[in-house]
């Protein structure tokens, strides 16, 4: 339960944290730059509109001056200049929407108001900006103020038409501030909704994933407790689906291994019990004092045979256990496989001559020298030859072939016996396979396969009526 809720909390928290980071980035980066960008845009617009309005007013003043000159000549020049100044101020105010004041020099050299629009009485900041504009000889601008009512931008523009004259235009930025506040409010509302959606979505995703993980956890516990009938449902083609598929494959393999283990224990118990029962029976018979010497020697021979059978079986079981657990160590030395095969085949000459069998060795090409454990290869080869002799008839041929093919060393044992039934081929290398036919304990081929795997080789079988071939392939 702790794992499940921990994953749910982590997934949900991840969704919420990502959403909060996105909202924080918008609040810290977008909103401040939004206000600054809007102020700069308004400043550029005010500058362009003021330039256009000044040019327009200058044209109108020239027209009016020419008309007044025709009628009156140069009379009343002062009144016309005042009217021209007011017309300039009104034109700029009308086209820009700003409050405008025209400042010019007075007798003491200080700037004084020559014309202004309603509510545009210049303050000390307006005069200071105008003086700085005259000093630099060009347009100056500034934005200042705090709060929605005080925030505003102003420009001071020295006029080329009148020496010492400066046009000051001021625009309030209350609409910019209202826009920024509105955007901030909507970002916060959207962020709150985003956090809520992220919380719900994260909870749904976390619940779905944790539920699937919980099912996998419960299934794995059941398998760990030995209930191999459990199945892992593959409910999606994603990473968890792939995990479920892998666990299901593992469960099926464990089920097969458990079945093989139980069958192995049952068969091993049976194989051990049979000679033990024989030994127990012969011991009881030997207690009879009336046995003649010949019968007693026969019983002792049977005891020796059963004891040797037990020793071989215990040795095979020990070898198989060591190979399967990885405890068996193999040494590696350059071995002439041609010589080894010939030597192992000679060990079977007494049996071949006694039973009048046919065993031949074919050494193909140059001597095959390979780095391997010669004792284990000889053990494997003895198993294959013994298996071929036991499962073929007196007139059948058994052939051992050694060659190098495609860079790998190959040793094959072929007999012309009846072959292995097709239904038995998949399990022919399993422990105790074929033990019930009386030919042995059924561990030889299982040990041979483990030896081949230990040497990074491969032991295969190809069987059909009249020809069965076991091939050991040892790569370079």
One domain for residues 426 and 460: yes
Residue 204 in domain:
no
| Domain at 256, CATH number | 1.10.287.130
Kindly state whether residues 271 and 364 are assigned to the same domain: no
Last residue of a domain, one of 131, 155, 179: 179
Q: Same structural domain for residues 166 and 281?
A: no
Are 347 and 314 members of one domain?
no
* Cα-based torsion angle of the residue sequence 277, 278, 281, 282 in order, rounded to the nearest 10 degrees: -150
- Asked if residue 412 belongs to a domain, the reply is yes
The larger pLDDT score, comparing residue 240 to residue 372, is at: 372
Are both 312 and 394 inside the same structural domain?
Answer: no
Q: Mean pLDDT throughout 51-59? A: 72
Same domain as 135, residue 57: yes
Per-residue pLDDT at 383: 86
353: helix, strand or coil: helix
pLDDT-derived band at 76 (thresholds 50, 70, 90) equals low
User: Can you give the CATH number for the domain in which 33 is found?
Assistant: 3.30.450
Contact 89, 115 (CB under 8 A): yes
243 in any annotated domain = yes
DSSP letter, residue 424: G
Reading the block at residue 105, the tokens are 């020099």
Residue 266 has a pLDDT of: 65
Q: Is residue 232 in some structural domain?
A: no
Compute the mean pLDDT over every residue in the chain, rounded to the nearest whole number: 77
Residue 433: predicted pLDDT: 61
Tell whether 167 and 301 lie within a shared domain: no
Residues 299, 398, single domain; the answer is no
Domain boundary among the residues 264, 298, 325 is at: 325
- Which of left, alpha, beta for 199 (phi over 0: left; psi -120 to 50: alpha)? alpha
Q: When comparing pLDDT for 412 and 212, which is higher?
A: 412
Domain contains 16: yes
Q: What's residue 412's pLDDT? A: 92
- Are 359 and 394 within one domain? yes
CATH classification at residue 405: 3.30.565.10
Between residues 360 and 192, the one the model is more confident about = 360
pLDDT tops 60 at residue 394: yes
The closest of 433, 431, 367 to 404, measured between CA atoms, is 367
Question: Lowest mean pLDDT: which of 68-72, 181-185, 190-194?
Answer: 68-72
- State both tokens at 271: 């194989």
pLDDT of residue 2: 46
* Same domain for 36 and 14: yes
Q: Tens digit of pLDDT for each residue in 310-359?
A: 776 676 666 666 666 566 677 888 999 999 999 999 988 888 888 888 88
pLDDT value of position 400:
92
Dig out the tokens for 134 from the structure. Answer: 């005259």
Residue 215 within any structural domain of the chain: no
CA separation (Å) from 89 to 82, 96, 123, 155? 11, 11, 17, 14
The model carries a pTM of 0.46
d(CA 242, CA 284): 62
Residues 165 and 258 in one domain: no
164 plus 112 within the same structural domain: yes
Residue 453 placed within a domain: yes
Task: Tell me which residue of 419, 418, 445, 422 sits closest to 432, measured CA to CA.
Answer: 445
Q: Is 73 within a domain? A: yes
Give me the domain span that covers residue 401: 333-474
- The residue from 325, 348, 383 where one domain ends is 325
Total structural domains within the chain: 3
């Amino acid at each position: 339960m702790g794992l499940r809720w921990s994953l749910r909390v982590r997934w949900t928290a991840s969704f919420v944290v990502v959403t909060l980071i996105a909202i924080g980035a918008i609040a810290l980066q977008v909103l401040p730059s939004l206000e600054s960008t809007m102020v700069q845009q308004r400043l550029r617009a005010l500058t362009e509109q003021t330039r256009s309005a000044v040019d327009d007013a200058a044209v109108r003043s020239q027209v009016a001056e020419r008309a007044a000159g025709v009628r009156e000549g140069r009379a009343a020049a002062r009144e016309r200049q005042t009217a021209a100044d007011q017309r300039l101020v009104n034109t700029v105010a009308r086209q820009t929407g700003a409050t405008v004041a025209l400042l010019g020099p007075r007798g003491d050299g200080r700037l004084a108001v020559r014309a202004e629009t309603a509510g545009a009485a210049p303050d000390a900041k307006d005069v200071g900006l105008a003086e700085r504009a005259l000093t630099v000889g060009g347009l100056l601008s500034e934005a200042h103020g705090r709060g929605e009512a005080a925030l505003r931008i102003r420009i001071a523009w020295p006029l080329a038409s009148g020496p010492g004259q400066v046009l000051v235009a001021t625009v309030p930025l209350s609409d910019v501030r209202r826009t920024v506040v509105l955007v901030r409010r909507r970002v916060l509302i959207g962020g709150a909704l985003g956090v809520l959606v992220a919380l719900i979505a994260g909870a749904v995703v976390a619940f779905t994933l944790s539920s699937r993980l919980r099912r996998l956890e419960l299934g794995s516990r059941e398998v760990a407790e030995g209930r191999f009938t459990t199945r892992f449902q593959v409910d999606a083609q994603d990473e968890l689906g792939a995990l479920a598929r892998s666990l299901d494959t593992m469960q099926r393999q464990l089920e097969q291994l458990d079945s093989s283990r139980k069958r192995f224990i049952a068969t091993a118990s049976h194989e051990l019990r049979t000679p033990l029962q024989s030994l127990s029976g012969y011991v009881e018979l030997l207690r009879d004092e009336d046995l003649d010497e010949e019968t007693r020697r026969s019983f002792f021979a049977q005891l020796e045979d059963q004891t040797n059978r037990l020793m071989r079986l215990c040795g095979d079981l020990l070898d198989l256990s060591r190979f399967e657990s990885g405890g068996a160590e193999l040494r590696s030395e350059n071995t002439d496989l041609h010589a080894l095969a010939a030597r192992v085949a000679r060990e079977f000459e007494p049996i071949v001559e006694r039973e009048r069998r046919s065993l031949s060795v074919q050494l193909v090409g140059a001597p095959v020298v390979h780095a391997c454990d010669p004792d284990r290869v000889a053990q494997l080869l003895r198993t294959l030859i013994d298996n071929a002799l036991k499962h073929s008839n007196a007139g059948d041929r058994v052939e051992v072939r050694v060659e190098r093919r495609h860079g790998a060393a190959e040793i094959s044992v072929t007999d012309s016996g009846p072959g292995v039934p097709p239904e038995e081929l998949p399990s022919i290398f399993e422990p105790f396979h074929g033990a019930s036919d009386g030919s042995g304990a059924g561990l030889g081929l299982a040990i041979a396969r483990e030896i081949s795997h230990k040497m990074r080789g491969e032991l295969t079988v190809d069987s059909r009526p009249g020809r069965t071939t076991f091939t050991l392939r040892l790569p370079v």
